């Protein structure tokens, strides 16, 4: 069972830790607003992910496989919402001394991950291939959800912390502006690539 948990944890870390809309949004929020001000957004991302994981565990993830139109609709909504979050990051005008702008909120993070097809696809793969063996399917699903969520908390927190540290490296207003635009641009590029690949 320890090997199965380690494999699940590693797989989850790789799937969730690879640059994509949510990790880049977290890094962008950390860079633009700081770790402390971004905690609400992080909490929203995590709760949205927990709901997505739970829905996949309940079998709802296969909805995207059976009805590709639903996936396309979710991708469109997620793309629009990610562009909105990227805009909030790029348009933050506060300097390093005063991270005073309005950081994306808990609601922003929650909606972003709740409608993120990548989250559903990742956990559909995890639940198809890396379920923790247990005495019952319910217990197996519960352990898999718990391990995956613990890994998500760590990985997502690291992405925001990395963004926050990047902000400290770009202390001059012009450098901070470039950093915000780079983070926001990478977020938009990652979601657009996801639509066409």
Q: Tens of pLDDT along 53-73?
A: 888 888 766 676 788 887 778
Is pLDDT at 75 greater than 80 in this prediction?
Answer: no
Mean pLDDT score of the chain: 82
Cβ pair 77, 195 in contact under 8 A:
no
What's the average model confidence in pLDDT over 180-185?
Answer: 78
What's the average model confidence in pLDDT over 31-52?
Answer: 92
* Predicted local distance difference test score (pLDDT) of residue 100: 54
Tokens standing for residue 123: 């956990």
* Burial class for 85, CB neighbours closer than 10 Å (0-12, 13-18, 19+): buried
Handedness of CA 145, 151, 157, 159 (dihedral sign): negative
- C-alpha dist (Å) from residue 187 to 10, 17, 62: 24, 14, 26
* Predicted local distance difference test score (pLDDT) of residue 194: 62
Tokens standing for residue 157: 């927190």
What's the average model confidence in pLDDT over 147-165?
Answer: 94
Cβ pair 123, 52 in contact under 8 A:
yes
What's the average model confidence in pLDDT over 158-184?
Answer: 79
What's the average model confidence in pLDDT over 87-101?
Answer: 62
* Predicted local distance difference test score (pLDDT) of residue 96: 46
* Predicted local distance difference test score (pLDDT) of residue 151: 96
* Predicted local distance difference test score (pLDDT) of residue 26: 92
Higher pLDDT, 158 or 2: 158
* Predicted local distance difference test score (pLDDT) of residue 60: 67
What's the average model confidence in pLDDT over 165-190?
Answer: 75
* Predicted local distance difference test score (pLDDT) of residue 97: 44
Which of 196, 193, 191 is closest to 77 using CA atoms?
Answer: 191
What's the average model confidence in pLDDT over 20-35?
Answer: 86
* Predicted local distance difference test score (pLDDT) of residue 98: 46
Spatial separation of the C-alpha atoms in residues 189 and 149, rounded to whole Å:
26
Is pLDDT at 88 greater than 80 in this prediction?
Answer: no
* Burial class for 57, CB neighbours closer than 10 Å (0-12, 13-18, 19+): buried
Q: Tens of pLDDT along 105-152?
A: 999 999 988 887 778 878 888 887 888 888 888 888 889 999 999 999
* Predicted local distance difference test score (pLDDT) of residue 150: 96
């Amino acid at each position: 069972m320890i090997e199965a948990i380690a494999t699940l944890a590693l797989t989850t870390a790789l799937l969730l830790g690879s640059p994509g809309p949510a990790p880049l949004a977290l890094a962008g929020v950390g860079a633009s607003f700081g770790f402390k001000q971004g905690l609400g957004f992080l909490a929203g991302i995590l709760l949205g992910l927990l709901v997505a994981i739970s829905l996949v565990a309940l079998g709802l993830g296969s909805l995207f496989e059976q009805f590709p139109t639903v996936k396309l609709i979710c991708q469109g909504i997620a793309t629009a919402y990610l562009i909105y979050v990227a805009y909030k990051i790029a348009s933050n005008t506060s300097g390093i001394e005063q991270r005073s702008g309005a950081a994306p909120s808990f609601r922003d993070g929650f909606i972003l991950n709740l409608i993120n097809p990548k989250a559903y696809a990742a956990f559909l793969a995890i639940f198809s291939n890396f379920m923790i063996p247990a005495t019952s399917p319910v217990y197996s699903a519960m352990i898999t959800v718990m391990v995956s969520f613990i890994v998500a908390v760590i990985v997502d927190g690291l992405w925001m912390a990395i963004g926050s540290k990047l902000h400290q490296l770009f202390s001059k207003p012009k450098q901070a502006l470039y950093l915000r635009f780079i983070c926001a641009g990478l977020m938009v590029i990652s979601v657009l690539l996801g639509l066409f690949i």
